[in-house]
Chains A and B, each alone.
Chain A
Amino acid sequence: NAGVMQNPRHLVRRRGQEARLRCSPMKGHSHVYWYRQLPEEGLKFMVYLQKENIIDESGMPKERFSAEFPKEGPSILRIQQVVRGDSAAYFCASSPDGQGEAFFGQGTRLTVV
């Protein structure tokens, strides 16, 4: 049973470009969470999705950021018109039923130049 898979592991974008981060949850998991970690900081909750639904997006900036978790395929975190302040590690986690522990992927390190 493969773990949570995130790709790419590293992503470099120029200011103004779009960044797409993908997350495939563990098999059988229908709950996905996205977190952002800025350098020397903790994990900040961004968004919580269940298949085809956004449960909680209270931690996601209102502009430029969006997330989806379609019926088929991975969850996508999309950042439009990236700025230098978006440079961070983005982690995805999944859980089978929204309770108990969540399992994390290795993260995507986004660098905006």
Chain B
Amino acid sequence: DQQVKQNSPSLSVQEGRISILNCDYTNSMFDYFLWYKKYPAEGPTFLISISSIKDKNEDGRFTVFLNKSAKHLSLHIVPSQPGDSAVYFCAASVGTSGTYKYIFGTGTRLKVLA
């Protein structure tokens, strides 16, 4: 049972344009969402997060949007750069106070074309 879904396994975008990566979830108990970026042969690195009490969080070129009613979040990267080419994972956390675990999606491979 995949509670966090990334339905697009890959995405290609021209340099300078916007990249939009999507993520859907099924568990309404999720209350914190994160995006990670992963290069080959490396561990995932944290990118940006959002709490369920917000609908938008911005950090430089990266913005995450959360639509709780649709159980959907998205990551916008603008402008996209070749160095953004990587696999992006969305994750959701669930648990009781102080003991949260992270459930990851299957990832979307972003390729930014120069």
Contacts and interface: CB of A to CB of B under 8 A. Distances in A.
Given A33-B101, A33-B102, A42 B44 contact: no
Contacts, number: 63
A33 B34 CA distance: 15
B92 to A, nearest CB: 11
Contacts of A103: 46
Contacts of A33: 101-102
Interface of chain B: mostly helix, strand, loop or mixed = strand
B102 to A, nearest CB: 6
Nearest to A44: B104
Contacts of B45: 104
Interface in B72-98: 89, 93, 95, 98
Nearest to B48: A101
B71 to A, nearest CB: 18
B106 A41 contact: yes
Nearest to B93: A99
Interface of B: 6, 32, 34, 36, 41-46, 49, 89, 93, 95, 98-107
Given A93-B44, A109-B41, 11 more contacts: A42-B104, A44-B104, A45-B101, A50-B99, A56-B95, A56-B101, A99-B93, A99-B100, A105-B43, A106-B42, A107-B42
8 contacts: A42-B6, A43-B89, A45-B102, A55-B99, A98-B99, A104-B45, A105-B43, A109-B41
Interface of A: 4, 6, 31, 33, 35, 41-45, 48, 50, 55-56, 91, 93, 97-107, 109
